[in-house]
Amino acid sequence: MPDETLQSILERSKGALEPAEGEGEEQLTRIAVIGAGTMGLGIAQAVSAKGLEVLLLEKDEVSLQASLKQLAINLDREIARWGMTESDKRAVLSRIKGTSNLDELEGYRLIIEAVPDLIEPKTNLFKQLDTMASRNAVFVTNTSVLSVTELAEKTIRPDKFIGMHFLHPVQKRHMVEIVRGLQTSDATFRFTKSFAESIGKTVVEVYESPGYVTTRVILPMLNEAMHTLMEGVASAEGIDTAIRLGYNFVQGPLHLADQMGLDEVHSWLEAMFRETGEQKYRPCPLLRKLVRAGHLGVKTGQGFFKYDETGRQIYGAEGVV
């Protein structure tokens, strides 16, 4: 019998995406999120806002308390923008429990990892989880550029391993990419899709490829906008205005990069450049300069634009470049 090609394996793994009778109907009431950074907090908030309980895990108690404090600040900013009420804030916080103890993950059916987008920390974490999570637990990695298949192969459950690429800010982006690894089962996909839809997300199914859809498409635009600014073609405000109004975008590319975090954008470009060798992903020197200076965008108050303590852009203020 001839060896199967990678394409034939992928085609066979797609299967029927509609659940068989009696399958895919499990209703989650709680999930676990590992990593309480920007994305982890966003995921926890989005899930809790839909009525599910969240166990939020950080590496130590000091980091955990700092993250929970930041979450409260984030919610206060939403209140200041009339995006939620004090009652909403209390409800969200009441459903989020913080811990620094991995043992508390026992019994959770869905575990979402949201640690820094680096292969080694994620691999080490999933190896630990394998020893304590139940065999039917589904592992989810939140990654923008890493290989789901490579991460899955480090575990004893590649069939129950899948990627979910949430976009920042999670609670305001109504789409999530669900990324299947080579051995991700149809049952795991259906289960994860059902969860995503239960928290109000539109699912885009993605078969593994560097950068998936959103990261692959947006990064060259961000990088080119930075080159355009560096070459003095137009001001940062001019570039963003041209793209916003010219193409009916909600925000311009430079403001979007500031919102994502310039360090994250730099890291994703580097990863895509290494993976593909495509020059369009080679980070703009201006981006490198800003990251080295610690001007990382909204989270530091300075990037291509300046921002106040609530994260709002300060119009009329000169940027740092």
Question: What digits encode the pLDDT tens for the residues 99-143?
Answer: 999 999 989 999 999 998 889 999 999 999 999 999 999 999 999
Decide if 293 contacts 320 (C-beta within 8 A).
yes
Which residue's structure tokens are 């308390």? 65
Nearest CA-CA partner of 217 in 161, 177, 178, 246: 177
**Other beta carbons within 10 Å of 151:** 22
Angle between helices 38-49 and 86-94 (to 10 degrees): 100
For residue 277, is it left (φ>0), alpha (ψ between -120 and 50) or beta? left
Burial of 320 (C-beta count, 10 Å sphere; 0-12/13-18/19+) = middle
What domains, with CATH codes, occur in the chain?
29-207 (3.40.50.720), 215-300 (1.10.1040.10)
How far apart are the C-alpha atoms of 286 and 276, rounded to whole Å? 22
Tell me the residue ranges of DSSP E strands in the chain: 30-34, 53-57, 96-99, 110-113, 138-141, 161-166, 175-180, 202-207
Q: What is the pLDDT of residues 246-284, one digit of tens each?
A: 999 999 999 999 999 999 999 999 999 999 999 999 999
Q: Measure the CA angle with vertex 165, ends 51 and 50; round to 5°.
A: 10
The reported pLDDT for the residue numbered 81 is 84
The reported pLDDT for the residue numbered 24 is 44
Rounded to an integer, what is the distance from CA 24 to the centroid of its chain?
24
How far apart are the C-alpha atoms of 123 and 211, rounded to whole Å? 19
The reported pLDDT for the residue numbered 50 is 96
The reported pLDDT for the residue numbered 296 is 96
The reported pLDDT for the residue numbered 150 is 95
Question: Is the preceding peptide bond at 2 cis, omega within 30 degrees of 0?
Answer: no
The reported pLDDT for the residue numbered 318 is 57
The reported pLDDT for the residue numbered 278 is 96
Question: Which of the residues in the chain have pLDDT under 50?
Answer: 1-24
Predicted structure pTM score: 0.84
DSSP 95: T
Decide if 92 contacts 75 (C-beta within 8 A).
yes
Q: Three-state SS for 163?
A: strand
φ and ψ at 116, to 5 degrees? -50, 145
Start-to-end C-alpha separation, the chain: 62
Q: Determine the residue type at 295.
A: H
